[in-house]
Amino acid sequence: MNESLGFAHFLAQTDAVGRMVLLLLLALSVASWYLILTKSLANVLVQRRADAFLRDFWTAASLQEVSAMLAQRPLDNAFAGLAQQAMSAADGGQQGLQKLASAGGEGEFLTRVLRNGIDQEAANVEHGLTVLASAGSASPYIGLFGTVWGIYHALVQIGMSGQGTLDKVAGPVGEALIMTALGLAVAIPAVLAYNAFNRRNRIWLAKLDAFAHDLYALMTVGAKSNSSANGSAGEVRPMRTAGSTPGVRAAAQR
């Protein structure tokens, strides 16, 4: 009899509650691994697209060249989308713009547009993390419940049979512990992936926030200084040189 003990025997002997626990753990595992694989691939692709866009953006000679570049390429990353929103706000090209939206001046309106773009991207990158957090926190307890339920039924069956020897008790109790192992197997990858995605999102949004500061400076402080210094020369300067970012951000903050 003991030779037939195992996971297959446990599945055959478990009741409806035990099967529901197994199906719930299976569903959480499938959802977790689907999110892990899809979000990992999406993050790699969007990082490559963002790097390519930022390289082209900072090598452009003027904002007009950036505008032409945005019109010719898809907005397939948050940096390109934020730049497009900022360019539209600066040019006043948004359709249906209400007076209240532009209240406070061009600088305030541009600030709101950039902030809203960052908030939208923050909401997008949070997609799926709730499922991973739920799987990581709830799966061990779900597995523990299945173990307790299995031990309870195993002891009831042993008591009804009148065979309380160690070999008759250890097998069913050991089978019930499979539920706890399954719960941990679901929770550990979900927790690791949740922490990894959270770290990536913090870095991603920090870079996006820094890019928003640069956009604001280029479209307000930089535009005013260029127009006053080069209004009659007809000379086009590069938008950025090496090491210019700290000064740009400081000017934007002032």
Q: Does some domain include residue 197?
A: yes
Q: Could you tell me if 249 and 214 are in contact, meaning their C-beta atoms sit under 8 angstroms apart?
A: yes
Confidence grade of residue 230 (pLDDT, cut at 50, 70, 90): very low
Q: What does the pLDDT average to over 202-216? A: 94
Q: What does the pLDDT average to over 161-190? A: 78
21: Cβ contacts below 8 Å, ≥ 6 apart: 142, 143, 145, 146, 149, 179
Q: Does some domain include residue 81?
A: yes
Greater model confidence, 151 or 98: 151
Q: Does some domain include residue 206?
A: yes
Q: What does the pLDDT average to over 14-37? A: 90
Q: Does some domain include residue 77?
A: yes
Average pLDDT score, the chain: 79
pLDDT at 239: 47
Q: Does some domain include residue 253?
A: no
Report how far residue 103's alpha carbon sits from residue 154's, in angstroms, rounded to the nearest whole number.
Answer: 71
pLDDT at residue 242 above 50? no
Q: Does some domain include residue 233?
A: no
pLDDT at residue 10 above 50? yes
Q: What does the pLDDT average to over 23-48? A: 95
pLDDT at 12: 66
Please give the residue range of the domain that contains residue 36. 2-93+101-213
Q: What does the pLDDT average to over 190-209? A: 96
Q: Does some domain include residue 226?
A: no
* Domain tally, the chain: 1
In degrees, rounded to 5, the angle at the alpha carbon of residue 31 between the alpha carbons of residues 182 and 45 is 125
Q: Does some domain include residue 132?
A: yes
Confidence grade of residue 190 (pLDDT, cut at 50, 70, 90): very high
- Give tens-digit pLDDT for 40-74: 999 999 999 999 999 999 998 888 898 889 888 88
153: Cβ contacts below 8 Å, ≥ 6 apart: 14, 15, 18
